[in-house]
Structure 1
Amino acid sequence: MASRAKRPKVESAEAPVNRDQETANGLVQFLDWCVQSGLLLSSKVYVSKEGTVADYGLVAKDEIEEGELLFSVPRSAVLSQHTTTISDLLKKEAAALESPSGWVPLLLSMMFEITSSESRWKSYFSLWPDFSSLHHPMFCFQEPCEDEDEEDDEKASKPPMMVPMADILNHVANHNACLEFAPECLKMLSIRKISKGEEIFNTYGQLANSQLLHMYGFTEPYPSNTHEAMDIQMQTVYDAALQAVHTEEERKLLREKWEFLTELEIVGEERDFVIGQSGVLTEEELYSTLKVLSMSLEEFEEYKANDGWEDDDEDEEEDLSSLDNAVIPKLKPAWKQLLHNTVTMRLKSYRSGLKEEEAALTNEETYRQLSKRERDSLQVRYAQKMILHRLLELTE
């Protein structure tokens, strides 16, 4: 296990003295703006660049109990397509600005406001990183829909927004605060007891390091990220099954099985199986794929005749469909072998091995010499390989 590359610890609970006067002035302006905008900040926390994992963060000045309000942001202070100065223009041109993500109006809002000397968010922008630093992009929030059964077009009515103060909080999987959406404001609440001097962490979602790096420009040191997961292309399972084929008849049958799985939309050319730390996350898809690809000709013909429907009378088989780490060793030998061969093939796609990665992580001098991008890449690869090697052990 890797033991290096820890995040910095908080050394003091007292508000630190800022070294850079420009940074200090920007922070003072921002905090003044917060007061003027009606943003309420608890006296038990303060914004700081010291004792935080990345750039600005929020630190506990005193001990905080679970459920305490850390700050609240009135909706009028939130930057969105509805609060920007050009809101009327965006509304007028809404049809031309439509996109599945809803990002276009927000991006235009930010571009206009950040270039306007009269913007009411000018002091808020003073804390933003300049464009020469792209390591840690600003975090945008998207309000969840109240009704999970809403249609897709209704869900699109919840566009992303920039939430001052909330986007200062850094992310870890084991976070200690969360954002709640109320009609009049957004509230950041503690979700567990927080010690004096501890950093306040929000969550950006249940994201693996590869997703964090892609979306926000950072990773969590192994093994901190409890949401770590990795993808295996569905095509890799087919390729692994093809390696065990010896005759043209077997190759034809395998191709027919794969085409049938494709018709059922269980597999796809651009799709992946997702493996987490506790087992397979896309369990139904992988379960069906292993099952069908391991069938005899007679079994497959019957399966195909029923359009993929079966009466599973065996309780054991239904229990196995979860595909968690406790179940995988109990799979049928043919299934385990196919999964084992798939994992082996996936590991061959890396240029380095697990021991090499672990040596780089545990050697403090070697790790320190790596660039930030190299360290992030190493954290991603190592966590992925740990998941794959665990699968290898489970399918032995």
Structure 2
Amino acid sequence: MASSAKRARRESGAGALAAFLEWCDRVGLVLSPKVYVSREGTVADYGLIAREDLPAGEVLFTVPRTALLSQHTSSISSLLEKEQDSLKSQSGWVPLLISLLYESTISNSHWGTYFSLWPDFSGLDHPMFWSEEERWRLLQGTGILEAVDKDLANIQMEYSSIILPFLKAHPDLFNPKVHTLELYKKLVAFIMAYSFQEPLEEDMEDEEPNPPMMVPMADLLNHVANHNANLEYSPECLKMVVIQPIRKGQEVFNTYGEMASWQLLHMYGFAQPYPGNRDDAADIQMLTLCKAALQAAKTDAEQQLVLEQWDLLCQMEMVGEEGAFVIGWEKVLTEEELFTALKVLGMSAEEFKEFKEQEGWANEMGENGNTDLTLSMIPTLKASWKKLLFDATLLTLQAYNSDLKAEEEVLINQQAFSKLSCREQFALQVRYGQKKILQQLLELASS
């Protein structure tokens, strides 16, 4: 039997959901009677379940633009527009974050009922909220540690240099004791996990990306790579539309994009169970390839050649200190960068001299002019290139503090897996998927 505390939380959640659905009616958000919002039968938290079979093309709900929460619809939109120059930031999120700081802490907010679905935003469990010890123990080698460190540094910088001066300049609207750094951090995670970014028109792709916005109802849908619904944009409204048939009782899934498992955990606080994420990928840091090349150099002259080659690759903008080569299940997603790096680093001193004199190299993946570097092509590369790729992949695998075989044993042992915490389970899925991709690359490069 559920404890009284659990029953109270469940009833509170049910009340918040009922109030939210009433709010949806008031603001003109139309939900099809063929689906319903539920916490039962979903992969996580709230989700949308089909009441009956749904064909492709079925509209599940329509959200009028007046129901969206953005810097343009917030009740302080005119102030944000007036002071937009002082709110510019690297992320571009500051105006929406200030909107959320204000709207989530006033009693009469138009979006108050919407916010009640996330009480105090305390349910967010991004790695940025984990302890340093937990992150180091569970996520070393995945790339998430570095991403979280950047996030936390940027959050601290934006809050102290942009947000706090703005709050203090408007004491009639904000109170630094209420609108704290901790709340700001939670709202950053809220935007990471639940916001949407409207794509630019094709003829405007060179423009700055649209700022993020909150889309009630759409943000309740969970993600899988093989999703069955898509959000469509029009000048009047946004619509969630079925893109492949959904059977009665099935969950409706949106997509957050082609996201590797480490990106899902970093930005959304979860990971798809292995091997469900067809978009999973593993990174080989570009500097790791340089390190592998330097380790293979036998003389000072050879090491100097590697450094000159790397410097030229940097000038060509093919590599960078913080860049990574991205390896998918079937192809290299950064094929031009990796191919060029292998080619240049594999040159003799004479070839490199000629390369510099020619001021470039024809960008061809092979004699047939193929522009994709699929994994099936790896065994056909030059032996020296494969050796360099093998060494870099091995160095990458050594960065993890866990063993692939031991993790595999936990994954296939349901009893052992169930004893892990949610954080441990998600981190294991991320690590295992990455290492399987890298192990596959290692085998191909050694053939």
* RMSD, matched Cα: 1.9
Q: By how many angstroms is 1:297 displaced?
A: 1.6
The corresponding residue for 1:139 is 194
Deviation at 1:131, TM superposition (A): 3.4
In the TM superposition, what whole-angstrom CA distance separates every residue of 1:118-137 from its partner, at most 9, and x where no partner exists?
11112111212433322264
Tell me how far apart the structure 2 counterparts of residues 257 and 150 of structure 1 sit (CA, whole Å): 33
Please give the per-residue CA displacement for 1:313-366, whole angstroms capped at 9, x wherever unaligned. 9724x33x5221121111111111111111111111111221111111111122
Partner residue in 1 for 2:152: none
User: CA contact under 8 A between 2:375 and 2:444: conserved in structure 1?
Assistant: yes
1:266 aligns with one of 304, 318, 341: 318
Give the stretch that moved more between structures: 328-337 or 66-75: 328-337
4+ long deviations beyond 6 Å: 311-314
Match of 1:330 in 2: 380
Q: Is the 8 A contact 2:340 2:363 kept in 1?
A: no
CA change 1:254–1:364 in 2 (3 A) is same
Is the 1:101–1:159 contact (alpha carbons within 8 Å) kept by the matching residues of 2? no
Secondary structure at the residue paired with 1:85? coil
The offset of 1:243, in angstroms, is: 2.0
Which residues of 2 match residues 207-286 of structure 1 at below 5 A? 207-286=259-338
Q: Which SS does the other structure have where 1:50 is aligned?
A: coil
DSSP-derived class of the 1:327 partner: helix
Match of 2:78 in 1: 88
Q: 1:150 to 1:346 in 2, by over 3 A?
A: closer
Among 167, 174, 188, the residue aligned to 2:226: 174
SS at 2:287's partner residue?
helix
Q: Which runs of 5+ in 1 are unaligned?
A: 1-16
Partner of 2:35: 45
Tell me, yes or no, if the aligned pair for 2:231 and 2:240 is still in contact at 8 Å. yes
Larger helix percent: 2
State the 1:181 CA deviation: 0.6
Number of aligned pairs?
375
Q: Which runs of 5+ in 2 are unaligned?
A: 1-6, 127-189
Code of the aligned partner of 2:89: S
Partner of 1:59: 49
Q: Within 5 A, what are the aligned runs for 1:89-238?
A: 89-135=79-125, 137=190, 138-152=193-207, 155-156=208-209, 158-238=210-290
Q: Does 1:304 align with 2:294?
A: no
Partner AA of 2:259 in structure 1: L
Deviations 1:201-231 (A, max 9, x none): 1111111111011111110000111110121
Contact 2:30–2:62 (Cα < 8 Å) also in 1: yes
Q: How far did 1:309 drift?
A: 2.9
**Equivalent pair of 2:197/2:212 in contact (CA under 8 Å):** yes
Distance in 2 separating the partners of 1:314 and 1:32: 60
Deviation at 1:69, TM superposition (A): 0.2
**Aligned-partner Cα distance in 2 for 1:314–1:270:** 28
Residue 375, structure 1, aligned to residue 425, structure 2:
yes
Percent of residue pairs bearing the same amino acid type = 55
Letter in 2 for 1:48: S
